[in-house]
Copies of this chain bind each other. A is one copy, B any other.
């Protein structure tokens, strides 16, 4: 019953199918353990097509990695640079968006962090993470709050570490945490939803520590 008119959602092109499959396999297994054959099978295509479209496993990987990180950076840079919101509001939105993203892609952080550990230099430089964060409105507000004495004068990175740690770690450690807490997927996700409200409060409380 699939008429031409109803086909508003067209099939992904071969190239897209490969990209989607590659993202899945790379994210699950990491570059070194991922097999091009796994990717081909996942995409339902011949292995040769992978090389036809992307030249090599490595080239394909670089594209996937860049896409993943750019998507992430893009998704937060809007929030970080909204000049209409306060520091607290930014944190609220950031936490909420981030948790939603990780609920959908729980394997992403472990993948990115693992590969950044083996690749470090090139990727980080290419993304220019540092500039984007440090020159953000968020960062200016953070340092301003420190100067005004509203926040204790500790290294701003401590806050970054704490926010990211509290958001990301539960997803990275979910197998252990689910085991410890006897949690089903559903209950785990409920806890994550609670954290959207709780983490900003916790951060707020931490910021008032002498």
Contact = CB atoms under 8 A, between A and B. Distances in A.
Contact of A30 (B114, B179, B180): B114
A53 interface: no
A1 interface: no
A120 interface: yes
A49 interface: no
B176 A166 contact: no
B175 A160 contact: no
Interface string A104-120: 00010010011011101
A81 to B, nearest CB: 16
A148 interface: no
Contacts of A170: 161, 165
26 contacts: A28-B118, A30-B32, A32-B34, A33-B33, A107-B117, A110-B117, A113-B173, A114-B114, A129-B179, A130-B179, A130-B180, A154-B194, A154-B198, A155-B194, A157-B180, A157-B181, A160-B177, A161-B169, A161-B195, A165-B167, A165-B169, A165-B170, A168-B169, A169-B169, A198-B209, A201-B209
Interface of A: 28-34, 107, 110, 113-114, 116-118, 120, 124, 129-130, 133-134, 154-158, 160-162, 164-170, 172-173, 175-177, 179-183, 191, 194-195, 198, 201-202, 204-206, 208-209
Which 9 residue pairs of A and B lie closest in terms of their CB atoms, listed nearest first?
A: A32-B33, A165-B169, A165-B165, A205-B205, A157-B181, A202-B206, A120-B175, A161-B170, A116-B175
